[in-house]
Structure 1
Amino acid sequence: MEHHAAPDLDADAALAALEWLVELGVTEAVGDAPVNSYDLPDTLARMRAAEPAPEPAAQARPAPELAVVRPQREEGPDPVAVARAAAERARSLDDLREAITAYDLCELKKGAKSTVFADGNPKARVMIIGEAPGRDEDVQGKPFVGRAGHLLDKMFAAIGLSRETPDAEGAFYITNVLPWRPPGNRDPEPLEIAQMLPFLRRHVELADPDLIVLMGNAACAAALGQRGILRLRGKWAEAFGRPALPMTHPAYLLRQPHAKREAWADLLALRARLNALAP
């Protein structure tokens, strides 16, 4: 039997790859035998050769087209307008947390275990906006507590910032665009971002940070109306009336360790901008 060498992975990289698959919603391996992805074309050819030929009638029948049907709200309130009104009524972060928890017009809430609001020091000068909760965040009810969250803590500790400290000068505050986990950790959809954007805008107003960090594409889409984090990262912009720095998500850095060098440059730029602003 021919054996194929596995790609070189150290323990941390292998664990990161496995956790990434779990984060995507993979729960089991499917197949009677392992498939070597490097030999995939030959494997597929052998599998297809072993399949019985389709019957003539089946060959003549055209493949059905799948229609993508999105739920339509023919009656009832506009979910964005309801979110906007609820957000505007919030006079404190506690009010905003209650308003988000009570908001029932986003379908994501039905499948989530927790409403993930925020973590860290709300008086911090730096506010980090991520994308959406993952599995660990959904279970614990806090943003960025999984493997990506641990990396994020190490990254910001390297420039003297922590979510644990009571000192506003050395703290950061963190939230997400969406407070509920999308199924299978898929990317947030435009409608979901639009629904929760009034809450996010009010969140920034109430926390009143000096600087914002936009972690990943969904955060940039919500705050800047743009996507393409690899193009946007490291370039200062303005979001919600404040200086904002797009950065690659820690989950991306776990998959692409070579990008940590650019992330370190972004962290240094953040530290320099923070030092230049009077507290």
Structure 2
Amino acid sequence: MTGSQAKATADVLAWYEAMGADEAIGEAPVDRFAAPPAPKAKAAPQKPAAARPRPAPNSAKPAASASASMAPESIESAATLEELEALVGQFEGCALKRTAKNTCFYRGSTAARIMLIGEAPGRDEDLQGKPFVGRAGQLLDRMLGAIGLDESSVYITNTIYWRPPGNRTPTPEEIGSCAPFLSRQIELLKPDVMVLLGGAAAKSILDVTDGIMRLRGRWKIYRTETRDIPTLATLHPAYLLRKPGEKRLAWRDMLMLKERLESLKT
């Protein structure tokens, strides 16, 4: 293989990895260039099996898998964040879980008064099982550090707990499947302030259609059954990595957050 061929092959593999195809599906390699196997002889036709009797109208149907979905009562019964995390681990109602390596439930402190919610885990998050640990997470940590916050004073999660293949945008159905868990997560943490990172999180949490540029920089209210939580939307750190010039807007939002936190101390 020449140097140019090796580079082209490496570029193709890097592209596959970026698109989410970063592991083999089968246990053994498959030779796609091998000749197809010879066709098997057709088996002799079998006699049709006798028809099975239909069950009586009142006969019980087989119960659905308990892990395929989670009843709202089960989610509400979680009395702690640890119990809720265990329920998320049992949940099979989101197809993303079948392609992800790990569940990314949260990062930070369960005693935090500040909750940050992003969109979805990426590749680094999927590998480590924690949200916001890649480049975007490192930028987020620097943003928080600029106003005196660190991992011990915040609680970070996402609208969904599993990485979409290729880091694609999660579908409304995928976000909806995780929404009851996230709602309970907010209720159990009882944050004094919430920060929504990016348009996808802001739209789903606040149930609005406005874009992030119209939502950011303004305090909103997220209502639970027991309390109203001041909520601030801001630009996602991943967006700021692509558009560094917009960091000035995110900095204004961070100053608004700092001012609100200082007012809560008085």
The normalised TM-score by structure 1 is 0.69
Report if the CA contact (8 A) 1:84-1:199 is conserved. no
CA contact (8 A) 2:113 2:192 kept: yes
3-state SS, counterpart of residue 128 of structure 1 = strand
State whether structure 2 residue 259 is matched by structure 1 residue 276. no
Call closer, same or farther: CA 1:208–1:110 in 2, change over 3 Å. Answer: same
Instruction: Say which SS state the counterpart of residue 70 (structure 2) adopts.
Output: helix
Structure 1 CA distance for aligned equivalents of residues 99 and 207 of structure 2: 27
Aligned match of 1:173 in 155, 158, 162? Answer: 155
CA distance in 1, matches of 2:67, 2:204: 16
More deviation, 232-241/152-161: 232-241
2:241 is the counterpart of 1:258? no
Query: CA contact under 8 A between 2:119 and 2:158: conserved in structure 1?
Result: yes
Give distance in 1, aligned partners of 2:103 and 2:214: 31
Gaps of 5+ in 1: 1-20, 29-74, 166-170
Please report how far the alpha carbon of residue 278 of structure 1 lies from its aligned counterpart in structure 2 after TM superposition. 3.6
**Alignment match, 2:93:** 105
The equivalent residue for 1:95 is: 83
More helix by share: 1
From 140, 157, 178, the equivalent of 2:128 is 140
- CA RMSD, Structure 1 to Structure 2 (Å): 2.5
State the distance in 1 between where 2:70 and 2:84 align.
14
- For 2:31, the equivalent position in structure 1 comes to none
Map of 1:198 onto structure 2: 180
Structure 2 contact 139–237 (Cα < 8 Å) conserved: yes
> Hey, what does 1:43 align to over in structure 2?
none
Pairwise CA distance, 1:77: 8.4
1:236 corresponds in structure 2 to 219
Do the aligned partners of residues 99 and 202 (structure 1) sit closer, same or farther apart at CA in structure 2, a change above 3 Å counting? same
1:55 aligns with none
Partner of residue 84, structure 1:
72
2:200 pairs with one of 207, 218, 223: 218
Instruction: Tell me whether 1:125 sits opposite 2:109 in the alignment.
Output: no
Match of 1:191, SS state, is helix
Query: CA 1:101–1:79 in 2, change beyond 3 Å: closer, same or farther?
Result: closer
Taking a change above 3 Å as real, the CA distance of residues 220 and 80 of structure 1, as seen in their structure-2 partners, is farther
Aligned residues: 207
Shift of 1:114: 0.2
Identify the residue that residue 114 of structure 1 maps to in structure 2. 102
Q: Which runs of 4+ in 1 moved over 4 A?
A: 21-24, 75-81
The CA distance in 1 between the partners of 2:17 and 2:119, in whole Å, is 14
Partner Cα separation in structure 1 for residue 180 and residue 246 of structure 2? 32
| Alpha carbons of structure 1 residues 27 and 101: separation in structure 2 relative to 1, 3 Å | closer
Q: Do the aligned partners of 2:119 and 2:160 also contact (CA within 8 Å) in 1? A: yes
Given that 1:83 and 1:199 are in contact with CA atoms closer than 8 Å, whether structure 2 keeps it comes out as: no
Report the AA paired with residue 262 of structure 2.
N
Distance in 2 between residues matched to 1:199 and 1:80, nearest whole Å:
15
Q: TM-score, normalised by structure 2?
A: 0.72
1:115-170, CA deviations, whole angstroms, 9 ceiling, x for partnerless residues?
1010111111110001110000000000000000000000000000000x3xxxxx
Give the one of 25, 36, 54 matched to 2:19: 25
